[in-house]
Amino acid sequence: MSQASTLGQVPRRTAPDVSYDVERVRAEFPILSESIHGKPLVYLDNAATAHKPRAVLDALAAFYTRDNSNVHRGVHLLSERATRDYENARLTAQRFIHARNAHEIIFVRGTTEAINLVAQSFCRPRLAPGDEIILSWMEHHSNIVPWQLVCEQTGAKIRVVPIDDRGELALDEYENLLGPKTRMVSLVHVSNSLGTINPARRIVELAHAHGVPVMFDGAQAAPHQAIDVQDLNCDFYAFSGHKVYGPTGIGVLYGRLELLESMPPYQGGGDMIHSVTFEKTTYNTVPHKFEAGTPNIAGAIGLAAALDFVERLGLEAIASYEHGLLLEGTRLLSRVPGLRLIGTARDKAAILSFTLEGIHPHDIGTILDQEGIAVRTGHHCCQPVMDRYGVPATARASLGVYNTRTELEALAQGLEAVRAVFG
C-alpha cells in the first residue's frame, strides 16, 4: 500500500483564516519561550494538556492576591467578591457551550469526574440486570471504567460500537445496538487518540428515537470547535479546563436541568445541603447539590479566563487554522518512510497519531525530546483503540492554537533523525 493510501486524505472543511495571527497568539503563552535541551520548545502534546495564556495566569494570581476567600454564605467583602467571580465563571461556561440555564453547569474536577457523576447519580438508580449502556471502540478509559463499575454494581452490560479502519464510527451498527434494553449512550465527541470527530447530532437523533439519553465526552472537542449543547440536543456534556488552556483540576458537566433535578447527590458535605439534622438532611438546589465542599474557586475563575481567551480568538478561526495545520502535518508525515498514520477519518481534529516501522513509540518520543519536541507516546488511555489497530502504542502530535507550520517541519525533521538513529 502506498504512503498516500496508508495516510488517507484529510478533506478541507474551510479555507485558512488569513487574519489568524499565530505569532500574536504565541506571545500570550510565557512557557513557549522556554528552551528544552538547548533547543526551542516545540510543544505538540496539547491533547494531554494545553499551556496557559497570560490571561489565565493573571486571573489565578489576582484571585489569590486580592480576593481569596471561600464562596457562598460569607457576608464579608472578600467572600462576596469570590462568590461573584465564581458564579460569573458559571455564566461564562454556560455561554461557552450555549446551555439554556446557568444551573445546568456543574463544576467538577474534569471530564473523568463528570462521567463518574452521571454513571453513579443518573444511571445507577435506573439500571437493572440486563440493561445496556452503549460505548464505542474509540473511548478514553475515563469513558469506559466508570460504566464498567456501574455495570458491576447493577448487573447491566456494555455494548460497543465498532469503528472502521479509518477510525470512523459504524453508524449502522450503532443504530442496530439501540433497543428496548438500552439505558444510556456515552460517546466521545472527538477522539483523543485518532482525532475522529463523531457525528454528534446524528448520534443523539438515533438515540432519542428510542428514548435513550446521550452523554458526550467533550474533552477534546471544546478546545477546537464551537459547542452548542442545545443544537446537539444532548442530555449531558463534559469537558476539562486544562485541555482548553485553563487550569488543571477544574471542568464542567452540563446536564439538562430536569435530569439534574431528578438525580440524587453524588457526594455529601458542605454547601450541597439545605438543612442537616442527625435524623435527616435536605439538599440544596442544582447546581450546588453536586458541588460538595469548598470548590476549586481559583480553578473556576481561571477556566472562565481561558474560555474568554478562546472566544476572543474565535472558535471558527481556531478550527480553520488548526485544520490547515492538520493538512500540512499530514503532507509532511506522508513523506517519512515507514510511517503509518493511525486515524484517517474524513472529519478529523488536528491530531496525528502514528507509528514508525521497527521503532517503538517510546524511542520516538525520547529522541524527539532531545530535539526539544514534546509528543505523547503510549496507548493514550485508549488501549481498546490500540488493540483495534494491532499496535501496542503510538506516537501522537496533537496541535493547538499556538502551533505553527515551522514546528511541523521540525517534527518531520526530527522523525528523520529518529530513523537515522535506528538505521
Residue 12: predicted pLDDT? 39
Residue 423: predicted pLDDT? 73
Residue 9 reports pLDDT greater than 80: no
- How far is residue 348's CA from residue 323's CA, in Å, rounded to a whole number? 8
Residue 73: predicted pLDDT? 85
Catalytic residues: 381
Residue 179 reports pLDDT greater than 50: yes
In the numeric block, which cell numbers belong to residue 111?
471530564
Domain 3-33+314-421 and domain 56-311 have a common topology: no
Q: Which of 354, 401, 383 is nearest to 55 (CA)?
A: 401
Residue 146: predicted pLDDT? 98
- pLDDT above 70 covers what percent of the chain? 96
Rounded to two decimals, the pTM is: 0.94
Residue 2: predicted pLDDT? 34
Per-residue pLDDT tens digits for 130-175: 999 999 999 999 999 999 999 999 999 999 999 999 999 999 999 9
Residue 8 reports pLDDT greater than 80: no
Residue found by looking up cell 481534529 in the block: 349
Q: What's the fold here for domain 3-33+314-421?
A: Aspartate Aminotransferase, domain 1 (3.90.1150)
Task: Look over the chain and give the mean of its residue pLDDT values, rounded to a whole number.
Answer: 94
Average pLDDT over residues 58-81: 96
Architecture of domain 56-311: 3-Layer(aba) Sandwich (3.40)
pLDDT grade, residue 192 (50/70/90)?
very high
Domain limits, the chain: 3-33+314-421, 56-311
Per-residue pLDDT tens digits for 292-342: 999 999 999 999 999 999 999 999 999 999 999 999 999 999 999 999 999
CB burial string 276-294: b at 16+ within 10 A, e below: eeeeeeebbebbbbbbbee
Per-residue pLDDT tens digits for 404-420: 999 999 999 999 999 99
Residue 118 reports pLDDT greater than 60: yes
Residue 399: predicted pLDDT? 98
Instruction: Tell the burial category of 353 from Cβ atoms under 10 Å away from its Cβ (0-12, 13-18, 19+).
Output: buried
Residue 19: predicted pLDDT? 78
